[in-house]
Amino acid sequence: MKEKKKATIGHALIPIVSLIVFLLVGIVFLGADPHIPLLLGVIVAAAVAIFALNYSWEEVESSIVDGIKLALQAIVILMIIGTLVGTWLLSGTVPTLIYYGLQILSPGIFLVATLLICSIVSISVGSSWTTAATIGIALIGIGQGLGIPVGVVAGAIVSGAYFGDKMSPLSDTTNLAPAMAGGELFTHIKYMFWTTGPAYIITLIIFGIMGLSYAGGEIDTERISSITNALADNFNLSPLLMIPPLLVIVIVIFKVPAIPGLLAGTFLGGIFAFIFQGAGLAEIVDAAHYGFGIDTGVVIVDDLLDGGGLDGMMWTVSLIIIALSLGGVLESTGMLSAVGDAILTVAKSTGSLVLATILSCIAINLLSGDQYLAIVVPGRMFKDTYREKGLAPEVLSRALEGGGTVTSPFIPWNTCGAFMWEVLGVHPFTYLPYTFFNLLVPVVNVVIGYTGFKIHKIDNREDNTANA
C-alpha cells in the first residue's frame, strides 16, 4: 500500500476551484439546483484523495459516512420539523398566528418587533432552528400581509434567531466553541457581548429606520382584510391554537432535548387539527407526511399555507447529505487543514490572526456545508497559535462563533442555509443583504482584533489569569 501524502494547498485548490466552477455553471447558467454541482465536487475531491494523496476508496467512503454522521441529529430534526409544520398548518396554528399578528403589528414596528421576538425566543430555547420553525414561519406570513418584502422579514428573523443562538448557554454552538478553544462557557458568553452587543444595537437601529420608511407608506387595508377573511373563512381560529408553539418553547427551555420536544409539537398539532378543524386521522397523517395545501381563492394565503411535511424536507436533506459528503472527504484527507495553514501563514498580528480565523470559518462553511466543522476545524488548527501568542481561549472561541456560526445561514448548501431556505421559503441570497447582525458580527470581531480592545492576554505558562 502506498504511503499517504500530506495534502497541500495545491491539492485543496483542485476540488475547491472545481466546485466553484460547477456551482457557477450549474446554478447561474443552467438554472439547476446545487445538488449535482456539489456531487461533482465530491467526485473531484475523492479523485484527488485517491490518485494524488494515495487514499483507498474504502477510506474515502468511510470519510463520506463520517461527514454525514456529524449532522445526523440535525437531519432528524429537520425531518421532524417537516411533520410539525404540516400538522400546524392543518390544525390552524400557523393561520391563527398570522391572523392575530396582522391585527396587532403595524409596518412601522414590525421589523424591530420581529428582531426582538426572535432574539428572546432563541435565547430561551438556544436554537435558531427552533425559533425559525415556530415563530419565524408566522412572522413571514405577517410581514407579507403588511406588504414588507419577504427578504427583509427573513433578514430580521435570521438576525434575531442567531443573536439568541450565540448568546444562549443552551446553544450547541455556544458550548462547542469554548470547548474547542479550551475555554469556559460563561466566560465565552461574557466576552461575546463586546462583539455581539455593538452588532445587535446597530441592527436594531437599522431595522428601526427601515420600519419608519414602511410606516410612512399607505397600509393596504384591503389586502390585509382579504388575508384575514380568507383565514377566518377556512379555519376555526382560536387563541388556544397558539398553545403548540408555546409548548415547544417551554419544553426546550426546561432542557428537554430538541427531538422529543419537536415530536411533542407535532403530536399536539395533530390533536388540535382533530379538535379545531375536524380533521380525520388520514388527513393528519397525510399533512405530516406530504405537507399541507389549500385553495382559499386568495393567492397570497394559498402560497403562505402551502408547505411542510416529511417529504417536503427531502430536497433539503439530500442537499445536506451531499454537502457533508464533500466536507467529510476534505476534512479527513487534510485538505481543509491545508487551506487553514495557508491562511495562517499571513497571520502575524492579533488582528490578522482573528481575521484568519474568521476567514477560515467562512471558507469551511462554504466547503464543508456544516457549521460544526466550521468551528471544530479552525478551533483545532488555531488553538496552539493563540496560546503561543499569549491570547486567552475566549479570544479564539469568540472568533470561531463570529466566523462560523453567524455566516452559516448565508450558504444555500450549508445545513443552516438549507434549513432556513426550506422553513422560511426564502433563498439565502435573498435575505443575506438584510441579515445585518450576521454581517456585522465578523466585522466587529476583526475591528476589535486589530484595535486590541477587550483582547484577553494570558501568560503562556498559565491557563487562567486576570484580564489584562
Dihedral sign computed on CA atoms, order 451, 390, 354, 171: negative
For residue 223, pLDDT beyond 80: no
Average pLDDT over residues 26-46: 89
Position 200 in a domain = yes
Distance CA 57, CA 67 (A): 15
Position 123 in a domain = yes
For residue 461, pLDDT beyond 50: no
For residue 44, pLDDT beyond 70: yes
Distance CA 15, CA 443 (A): 28
The three three-digit cell numbers of residue 338, written as one number: 491545508
For residue 365, pLDDT beyond 80: yes
Identify the pLDDT of residue 462. 47
Q: How many structural domains are present in the chain?
A: 1
Average pLDDT over residues 67-76: 80
Residue (of 407, 383, 404) closest to 395 by Cα position: 383
Position 50 in a domain = no
For residue 228, pLDDT beyond 70: yes
One-letter amino acid for residue 394 of the chain:
E
Q: Poorest-confidence range of 102-106, 112-116, 391-395?
A: 102-106
Distance CA 149, CA 167 (A): 28
Distance CA 330, CA 12 (A): 8
Q: Poorest-confidence range of 46-55, 335-344, 439-448, 459-468?
A: 459-468
For residue 460, pLDDT beyond 60: no
Helix 172-181 and helix 150-167, axial crossing angle in degrees, nearest 10: 50
| 307 strand-pairing partners | 292
The three three-digit cell numbers of residue 226, written as one number: 382579504
Distance CA 353, CA 385 (A): 9
For residue 412, pLDDT beyond 50: yes
How many CA atoms, within 13 angstroms, populate the side-chain half-sphere of residue 261? 23
Position 77 in a domain = yes
Position 415 in a domain = no
State the DSSP H helix or E strand holding residue 292, giving kind and residue range, or none if neither.
none
Q: Got the DSSP string for 3-67?
A: PPPPP-HHHHHHHHHHHHHHHIIIIIIS---SHHHHHHHHHHHHHIIIIIS---HHHHHHHHHHH
The three three-digit cell numbers of residue 157, written as one number: 428573523
Average pLDDT over residues 270-274: 96
Q: Name the more confident of 404 and 381.
A: 404
Identify the pLDDT of residue 336. 82
Q: What pLDDT band is residue 345 in, cutting at 50, 70 and 90?
A: confident
Q: Name the more confident of 221 and 96.
A: 96
Position 81 in a domain = yes
Report percent pLDDT > 90 for the chain. 43
For residue 42, pLDDT beyond 90: yes
CB 15 within 8 A of CB 45: yes
Q: What pLDDT band is residue 206 in, cutting at 50, 70 and 90?
A: very high
Burial string for 200-231 (b: 16+ CB within 10 Å, else e) reads bebbbebbeebbeebeeeeeeeebbebbbebb
Name the residue range of residue 175's domain.
Answer: 72-313
Distance CA 165, CA 364 (A): 20
Average pLDDT over residues 379-395: 85
Q: Measured between alpha carbons, how far is residue 75 from residues 21, 168, 259, 419 in Å?
A: 28, 22, 11, 10
Dihedral through CA 68, CA 33, CA 49, CA 75, nearest 10? 0
Identify the pLDDT of residue 201. 96
For residue 339, pLDDT beyond 90: no
Average pLDDT over residues 81-102: 90
The three three-digit cell numbers of residue 33, written as one number: 439546483
Identify the pLDDT of residue 272. 96
Q: What pLDDT band is residue 464 in, cutting at 50, 70 and 90?
A: very low
CB 89 within 8 A of CB 292: yes
Identify the pLDDT of residue 420. 93
Dihedral sign computed on CA atoms, order 122, 125, 127, 129: negative
For residue 465, pLDDT beyond 60: no
Distance CA 287, CA 294 (A): 11
Identify the pLDDT of residue 1. 64
For residue 406, pLDDT beyond 90: yes
Helix 350-368 and helix 314-332, axial crossing angle in degrees, nearest 10: 130
Residue (of 436, 362, 427, 367) closest to 401 by Cα position: 362
Average pLDDT over residues 189-193: 89
Total residue count of the chain as it appears in this document: 468
pLDDT in tens, 249-269: 788 777 777 788 889 999 999
Looking at the chain, the number of H-run helices and the number of E-run strands are 24, 0
Identify the pLDDT of residue 234. 94
Average pLDDT over residues 56-80: 87
| Mean of all residue pLDDT scores within the chain | 87
Position 395 in a domain = no
Position 120 in a domain = yes
Average pLDDT over residues 103-127: 86
Long-range pairs, 173-179, Cβ under 8 A, ≥24: 173/371, 173/372, 173/375, 173/401, 173/404, 173/405, 174/126, 174/401, 176/372, 176/375, 176/376, 177/375, 177/379, 177/397, 177/398, 177/400, 177/401, 177/404, 177/405, 178/393, 178/394, 178/397
Task: State the burial class of residue 173 (Cβ atoms within 10 Å of its Cβ: 0-12, 13-18, 19+).
Answer: buried
